[in-house]
C-alpha cells in the first residue's frame, strides 16, 4: 500500500481479548470469561531459553474456562540470538498446548538496535522457521511506531497485531494496510485480574477463520483436562505463597527490635549499611554472642 492510505479503525464488530504474562500474577479465568473476553494470548517464551513462569497454569485454566488461547514469544535479536534457535525454542515449548491462533512473534524495544534491514531479515527467518517447526500459521506483534520504522515489506505476508494506545485507529505504515489484532490499551481492567491488563480488538473475519481450528474435546477429555487444570491452579497458588515467603526472607530490613534490645543502638550505628535480611541479623547476633559482647 502507499503510506498514508490508512489502516482501519476499531469498530463494534471487533472481538474483545487480552494478553497476559506472569506480571498479571494468579488469574481467576472463570471470572475473566464472564467479562466478555473471548480470547487470550499468553506469553510463552523469550529469547533462546526463557519460559514464562505462568505459561502452563494460564494455558490450562484459560482453556478450561472456555477462552480461546494463543501464545507469543518475546524476541531478543539484540543479544545476537539466532532467529532459527529462538523460533524452535518457541515451537517446542508450546507443542501440545491448546491453541486456536497463529503463533506470535513479539518484536519491540531494544530489537531496534539491529536496524530496519537486519531486523526485517531476522523476523522473516524467525517466522518462516516457526511455521515450519510448529505446523501453524505465524503472525507478528509490534508497536505502531516501531512497525513503521523497522519492519520492512518482506514481512507483509504475515498478519499484523499492532499496538497503539488511546486512539481508535493505529498509525499507518508502508508494510501493512490492515491489522488483524489491535492492542488499543495497556490499562484495561478485567474481572479476575488484579491490576491493569492489555486490551485487544480482533477483526471478526480473523476471529472466525481461526477460532474453531482445534478439534473440540470429548466429554472425557474435558473432564480430565479440568481435573489437571485444578491441580495446576493449586500448585500455582502454592508457588505464589512460597515466592512471597522467599521475597520476605530475602528483604533487607533495619535492625529488628530484639537485636537492638540485646546489643544496643551503638552496634547498629557502627555499621556502614544498617540494613540486612533477617538471616543476616541472626548471623550477627550469633557472632556477637560468641565473642561475649555486652550491651553498652
> Has 19 been annotated as catalytic?
yes
**Rounded Cα distance, 226 and 221, in Å:** 9
Residue 108 annotated in active site = yes
Q: Where are the alpha helices (DSSP H) in the chain?
A: 29-33, 55-64, 83-94, 116-134, 144-150, 204-210, 219-250, 257-263, 265-269, 278-290
Rounded CA-CA distance 263/286 in Å is 11
Strands 275-276 and 253-254: antiparallel
**Which residues are 24's β-sheet partners?**
none
Query: Mind giving me the DSSP string for 19-62?
Result: EE-GGG-S--HHHHHTTT--EEEEEEEETTTEE-TTHHHHHHHH
Catalytic residue among 28, 108, 131, 262: 108
- Taking CA atoms, 146 is separated from 104, 111, 119, 150, 262, in Å, by 16, 10, 11, 6, 59
3-state secondary structure of 162: strand
- In three-state secondary structure terms, 240 is helix
Asked if 83 and 126 touch (Cβ cutoff 8 Å), the reply is yes
CA distance 59 to 77: 26
Catalytic residue among 19, 46, 106, 129: 19
* Element housing 198 (H / E): strand 197-202
Give the chain's length. 296
Using CA atoms of 184, 128, 212, 222 in order, give the dihedral in degrees to the nearest 10.
Answer: -100
Residues with a known catalytic role: 19, 108
Amino acid at each position: 500500500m502507499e503510506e498514508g492510505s490508512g489502516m482501519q479503525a476499531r469498530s463494534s464488530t471487533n472481538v474483545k481479548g487480552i494478553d497476559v504474562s506472569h506480571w498479571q500474577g494468579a488469574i481467576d479465568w472463570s471470572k475473566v470469561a464472564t467479562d466478555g473476553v473471548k480470547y487470550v494470548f499468553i506469553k510463552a517464551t523469550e529469547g533462546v531459553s526463557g519460559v514464562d513462569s505462568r505459561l502452563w497454569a494460564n494455558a490450562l485454566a484459560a482453556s478450561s474456562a472456555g477462552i480461546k488461547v494463543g501464545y507469543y514469544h518475546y524476541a531478543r535479536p539484540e543479544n545476537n540470538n539466532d532467529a532459527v534457535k529462538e523460533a524452535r525454542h518457541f515451537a517446542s515449548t508450546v507443542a501440545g498446548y491448546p491453541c486456536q491462533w497463529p503463533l506470535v512473534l513479539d518484536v519491540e524495544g531494544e530489537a531496534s538496535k539491529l536496524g530496519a534491514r537486519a531486523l526485517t531479515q531476522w523476523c522473516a527467518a524467525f517466522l518462516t522457521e516457526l511455521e515450519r517447526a510448529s505446523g501453524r500459521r505465524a503472525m507478528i506483534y509490534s508497536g505502531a511506531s516501531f512497525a513503521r520504522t523497522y519492519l520492512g515489506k518482506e514481512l507483509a505476508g504475515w498478519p499484523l497485531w499492532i499496538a497503539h494506545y488511546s486512539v481508535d485507529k493505529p498509525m499507518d505504515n508502508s508494510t501493512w494496510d490492515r491489522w488483524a489484532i489491535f492492542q488499543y490499551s495497556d490499562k484495561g481492567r478485567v474481572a479476575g485480574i488484579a491490576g491493569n491488563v492489555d486490551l485487544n480488538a480482533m477483526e471478526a473475519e480473523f476471529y472466525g477463520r481461526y477460532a474453531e481450528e482445534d478439534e473440540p474435546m470429548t466429554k472425557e477429555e474435558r473432564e480430565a483436562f479440568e481435573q489437571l487444570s485444578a491441580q495446576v491452579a493449586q500448585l500455582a497458588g502454592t508457588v505464589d505463597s512460597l515466592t512471597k515467603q522467599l521475597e520476605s526472607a530475602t528483604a533487607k530490613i533495619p535492625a529488628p527490635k530484639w537485636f537492638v534490645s540485646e546489643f544496643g543502638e551503638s552496634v547498629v550505628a557502627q555499621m556502614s549499611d544498617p540494613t540486612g535480611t533477617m538471616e543476616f541479623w541472626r548471623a550477627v547476633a550469633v557472632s556477637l554472642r560468641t565473642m561475649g559482647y555486652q550491651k553498652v
